[in-house]
Chain A
Amino acid sequence: MSTTRRPRKVATTLAAALLAVLSGCSSGSDGAAPGGGGGSQEAVDAALREGGEITYWSWTPSAKAQVEAFQQEFPNVRVNYVNAGTGNDHYTRLQNAVKAGSGAPDVAQVEYQALPQFALTGALVDLGPYGFGGFESDYTPSTWNSVRVGDGLFGLPQDSGPMALFYNREVFDRHGIAVPATWAEYVEAGKRLHAADPTKYITADTGDAGFATSMIWQAGGRPFTTDGQSVTIDLQDEGARKWTSVWDQLVGQGLVAEIPGWTDAWYRALGDGTITSLAVGAWMPGVLEASVPGGAGKWAVAPLPTHDGTPVTAENGGSTQSVLRQSANPALAAAFVRWLNNGNGIKPFLAGGGFPATTADLGSAAFKDRESPYFGGQKVNQVLTRAAGQVAPGWSYLPYQLYANSIFGDTVGKAYADRSSLDDGLTAWQQALADYGNQQGFTVTTG
């Protein structure tokens, strides 16, 4: 009876698959490659001459144009561009492919905050041995610092997001509010604005891990340090408390609109003046121009307010392109990354409205002096490129920042919702992060 054999055959296949999964699982990854200092780009150049095929995952708006430009320049290389989702969808797929041991692309976009996690779990190729360490001077120190994990170099920076204050000048002027230079003035502005018009808020924030960490960064906090397997978390250091002392006032007094970021209500509120300012990365002009038409001619950009008047800012957002260890042709993949972020790929990126990480492009007069009609003719890049040079040094993210950000709402977000002390929220977050880290085999010290 052939038909009774069939189920058995399926069962055998199944068992085999199950076994493969199990064994693949137990063998585990062999950790990151030893960090490479020098090295030469010969292998990369050779791979580029030889050609081949690679797959690239990214959700950057300019990715498509970049891939097309690359193929024009190198017809012997075929790049399969895949938009595998934005943010978490992308990471879920990437993580699954890494875990499964197959199906990952050769090159992937990875945000700076997510990079340590992928680098430390052995998913990424150290580009040091390909001689990419020599590119250091081409990038702003903060972005270069972001692509280095331990002794390894796990990507080349594509964009950067030095923070500035984006504000609705029309609303500010209507209520006679001057652009705040310090956070104390910012709180005052928030109070006056909301008192004058209860439908208006100085900003919107329902608790965003990326924003909070950037604000702590700007205030001089360095809550996360990693050294091998030991991690130190101190979300109550001086910088963190400086930030909470400001933000507690805004949140506690209901001066912040409770509109979650990137929802349609948020876009609407940016356009109609409900949200009158945002402290956000330098990539924001493109978003406003394209998607908040109601704000045209009203918005302007100023340096980020500070705590003590000394100009200083932090990075907020931004990505690198990295080579995956699953890549069958890592040298060619590295060549593509080099072209993207240290070669002709930057041009289509800038044309797409991106904010670069390369000092040459940040310093070019054409970039700095571009007038934006949306911002009433203001040369916003002058403010933003200056900010790029004022990013506080020495920041690092947690090795498991993606997880950390995913539970931010459970802890700090709760403090937002209850309008209770953000310090308590940060302490709860710290505790949860310490527990998780210890569970994962780190030795976590809390400050």
Chain B
Amino acid sequence: MTSTPVPVESPPPRRGPSRRRRLDRKGWWFVAPFLVVFALVFLAPIAYALWLSLFQEQVFFGGTRFVGLDNYATALADAKFWESFLRVLLFLVVQVPVMLLLALVAALAIDSARLHAAGFFRIVIFLPYAVPGVVAALMWGFIYGDNFGLAADLNDLLGTRAVQPLSGDWVLLAIGNIVTWEFVGYNMLIFYSALKVIPGELHEAAAIDGAGAFRTIVSIKLPSIRGAVMIATIFSIIGSFQLFNEPNILRTLAPNAINTSYTPNMYAYNLSFGGQQYNYSATVAIVMGVITAIIAYVVQLRGARKGA
């Protein structure tokens, strides 16, 4: 079972190979409905995008020609693309650990039974995830605004104009803050529910051993939710590489600090919707997807090996 990707589990009991195989084939029944919709919603557009990436269309004159891998060559040599890639990489390296750590601490605290009003904490910390994007723009516009917002109040207090969250040097930090604010609760919930599915005997055993709170966390809780941490990490990596909503929202407030190729995903989006360069946009999306998948896969393999 070494090649089984994410889950860590014991090998299935062998009970006559043919019977087992017949039984295993029944697994398809559970997976098939998902895969059918998945094919329609994910695979078909991707196949279409792959096809698109081999052509170049000139929308004004209706000419489409086959260009082979030219678009890929262009993308790989595209300074704008790599600049945006490095930006999200920097973002990933800093923001993802901060966010996941906060989420883990929150989940352990809420699960520890030593917190007053744990239910209240759980819901409030999760709440930001439920705020619609339109409102997020208004809200952060108020908080980051250095004319009328909280940033302006802070500047008045300090007697400076130093705090300008929407200016060029600050804006990546401002985005990181929004993403953290939004997603700590989300990840907290993943960890929390993973803690909840830990079989009870483990805790009982620990209690009998007289393990302290800290030791229980390190030796029982953390190993038990390793799978969940792995999933959260992989999805956070993918999420960072696909960063789109938050910078896109802040763009209305900081149009000059965030350009149309601020992140790879924004770049692909703007190529498509601003410039109708559907072919090149599809290429950028695919290149980005391949890079993301490779990195996510490597991280997953390393995580799995560490656990083994």
A and B in direct contact, judged by CB atoms within 8 A: yes
Contacts of B39 in A (CB 8 A): 10-11, 14
Q: Does A64 contact B (CB under 8 A)?
A: no
Which residues of A, 1-26, contact B by the 8 Å Cβ criterion?
A: 6-7, 10-11, 14, 17-18, 21-22, 25-26
Contact A22 B51 (CB under 8 A): yes
Q: Does B177 contact A (CB under 8 A)?
A: no
> With A263-B141, A417-B168 as given contacts, are A31 and B61 in contact (CB-CB < 8 Å)?
yes
Contacts of A207 in B (CB 8 A): 255-256
Contacts of A268 in B (CB 8 A): 148
> With A92-B273, A206-B255, A263-B252 as given contacts, are A18 and B60 in contact (CB-CB < 8 Å)?
no
Chain B nearest CB, measured from A13 CB (Å)? 9
CA of A348 to CA of B63 in the docked complex: distance in angstroms? Answer: 43
Contact B256 A413 (CB under 8 A): yes
CA of A259 to CA of B141 in the docked complex: distance in angstroms? Answer: 11
> With A260-B253, A406-B274 as given contacts, are A441 and B48 in contact (CB-CB < 8 Å)?
no
Contacts of A265 in B (CB 8 A): 141, 145, 147-149
Which residues of A, 400-447, contact B by the 8 Å Cβ criterion?
A: 400, 402-403, 406-407, 409-410, 413-414, 416-417, 436, 439-442
Q: Does B300 contact A (CB under 8 A)?
A: no
Q: Does A29 contact B (CB under 8 A)?
A: yes
> With A18-B44, A206-B255, A263-B253 as given contacts, are A399 and B260 in contact (CB-CB < 8 Å)?
no
Q: Which of A14, A263, A442 contacts B44, CB < 8 Å?
A: A14
Contact B61 A410 (CB under 8 A): no
CA of A33 to CA of B109 in the docked complex: distance in angstroms? Answer: 69
Q: Does A71 contact B (CB under 8 A)?
A: no
Contacts of B63 in A (CB 8 A): 28, 441
Contacts of A269 in B (CB 8 A): 147-148
Contacts of B142 in A (CB 8 A): 264
Q: Which of A10, A413, A436 contacts B275, CB < 8 Å?
A: A436
Contacts of A62 in B (CB 8 A): none
Chain B nearest CB, measured from A147 CB (Å)? 19
Which residues of B, 51-109, contact A by the 8 Å Cβ criterion?
A: 51, 57-64
Contact B259 A410 (CB under 8 A): yes
Contact B255 A10 (CB under 8 A): no
> With A263-B141, A264-B138, A265-B147 as given contacts, are A406 and B61 in contact (CB-CB < 8 Å)?
no
Q: Which of A30, A274, A440 contacts B58, CB < 8 Å?
A: A440
Contact B260 A410 (CB under 8 A): yes
Contact A409 B260 (CB under 8 A): yes
CA of A207 to CA of B257 in the docked complex: distance in angstroms? Answer: 12
Q: Does A245 contact B (CB under 8 A)?
A: no
CA of A121 to CA of B275 in the docked complex: distance in angstroms? Answer: 13
Q: Does A257 contact B (CB under 8 A)?
A: yes
Contacts of A18 in B (CB 8 A): 44, 47-48
**Chain A, Cβ-Cβ closest to B152:** A265
The tally of residues in A whose CB lies under 8 Å from a CB in B reads 50
Contact A10 B259 (CB under 8 A): no
Contact B60 A403 (CB under 8 A): no
Contacts of A403 in B (CB 8 A): 274-276
**Chain B, Cβ-Cβ closest to A30:** B62
Q: Does B216 contact A (CB under 8 A)?
A: no
CA of A217 to CA of B125 in the docked complex: distance in angstroms? Answer: 52
Contact A257 B147 (CB under 8 A): yes
Q: Does B36 contact A (CB under 8 A)?
A: yes
Which residues of A, 42-75, contact B by the 8 Å Cβ criterion?
A: none
**Chain B, Cβ-Cβ closest to A416:** B256
CA of A402 to CA of B277 in the docked complex: distance in angstroms? Answer: 13
Chain B nearest CB, measured from A433 CB (Å)? 11
Contacts of A229 in B (CB 8 A): 61
Q: Does B242 contact A (CB under 8 A)?
A: no
Q: Does B155 contact A (CB under 8 A)?
A: no
Q: Does A120 contact B (CB under 8 A)?
A: yes
Q: Does A122 contact B (CB under 8 A)?
A: yes
Which residues of B, 10-65, contact A by the 8 Å Cβ criterion?
A: 32, 35-36, 39-40, 44, 47-48, 51, 57-64
CA of A26 to CA of B252 in the docked complex: distance in angstroms? Answer: 36
Which residues of B, 240-278, contact A by the 8 Å Cβ criterion?
A: 252-257, 259-261, 270, 273-277
* Contact pattern, B 158-183, Cβ under 8 Å of A = 1, otherwise 0: 00000000011000000000000000
Which residues of B, 112-155, contact A by the 8 Å Cβ criterion?
A: 138, 141-142, 145, 147-149
Chain A nearest CB, measured from B28 CB (Å)? 10
Residue picked from A264, A268, A274, most chain B C-beta under 10 Å: A264
Contact B60 A441 (CB under 8 A): yes
CA of A257 to CA of B145 in the docked complex: distance in angstroms? Answer: 13
Contacts of B255 in A (CB 8 A): 206-207, 260, 409, 413
Contacts of A413 in B (CB 8 A): 255-256, 259
Chain B nearest CB, measured from A88 CB (Å)? 8
Contact B61 A441 (CB under 8 A): yes
Q: Does A137 contact B (CB under 8 A)?
A: no
Contacts of B36 in A (CB 8 A): 6-7, 10
Chain A nearest CB, measured from B92 CB (Å)? 23
Contacts of A263 in B (CB 8 A): 141, 252-253
Chain A nearest CB, measured from B247 CB (Å)? 13
Contact A26 B60 (CB under 8 A): no
**Chain A, Cβ-Cβ closest to B59:** A121
Told that A6-B36, A25-B57, A229-B61 touch, could you supply 20 new A-B pairs with CB distance under 8 A? Answer: A10-B40, A14-B39, A25-B64, A29-B62, A207-B256, A260-B252, A260-B254, A263-B141, A263-B252, A265-B145, A269-B148, A274-B147, A406-B270, A406-B275, A409-B259, A410-B259, A410-B261, A436-B275, A440-B61, A441-B61
**25 A–B contacts, CB within 8 A, in A order:** A7-B36, A10-B36, A17-B44, A21-B48, A22-B51, A31-B62, A92-B273, A95-B273, A120-B60, A206-B255, A206-B256, A257-B147, A259-B147, A260-B252, A263-B252, A264-B138, A269-B147, A400-B60, A403-B276, A406-B275, A407-B274, A409-B255, A409-B260, A441-B60, A442-B60
Chain B residues in the interface with A (C-beta under 8 A): 32, 35-36, 39-40, 44, 47-48, 51, 57-64, 138, 141-142, 145, 147-149, 167-168, 252-257, 259-261, 270, 273-277
